[in-house]
Amino acid sequence: MKKTVVLGVTSGIAAYKTLDLVRSLKKNGAEVFVVMTESAMAMVPASKFKKASGNKVYNKLFEKGFDYTDILKIRRVDHIDLADKADIIVIAPATANIIAKIAHGIADDFLTTTLLAVHCPVIICPSMNVNMWNNPIVQENITKLRALGYHIVEPEKGMLACGYEGEGRLAHIKIIKEEI
């Protein structure tokens, strides 16, 4: 049976690395749907994820021409449909912002509303500056998410995009794929 992976891409510099994850998952027979935050789309064009996944890239809760009466006629909402079909959801890279939103139940975009509707495992792959990662607020949010049953793929140590060195690099794509 073909597995459905929903990949949430946020605005970490490592967003470009997740293109390789999409390609690798597709190569192994998974159906991959990508949800990008608005800021992530400034990092990597959605068209690249569409090409890699072969599917529409989701971003806006209310696309151009949205009409609530259409929803009432067909009784289907994209973020609920996506949540229902997902066998697993992976957030990579997961910024401090998305981690905080998830930990506090904030649903103000396509990705966060989808996350509140899922009934499958969720893997969070943090990626950020070492000082941000070590911030007590971020660590408190990670602890809360673990307690709620979210799976966390720890960031790696190394040279970061900002020029700092330390823990905060997105885990290697191979490790994320193994976790999936």
Q: Active-site residues: which are they?
A: 162
CB < 8 Å & 24+ apart, contacts of 158-164: 160/129, 160/130, 161/13, 161/14, 162/129, 164/129, 164/130, 164/131
- Give the span between the Cα atoms of 49 and 114, in whole angstroms: 18
Q: What angle do CA 124, 107, 46 make, to 5 degrees?
A: 65
Contact 92, 170 (CB under 8 A): yes
- Give the span between the Cα atoms of 170 and 124, in whole angstroms: 10
User: How many CA atoms does the CB half-sphere of 175 hold within 13 Å?
Assistant: 14
- Residue 155 tokens, joined: 């960031």
- Residue 176 tokens, joined: 């994320």
Contact 4, 118 (CB under 8 A): no
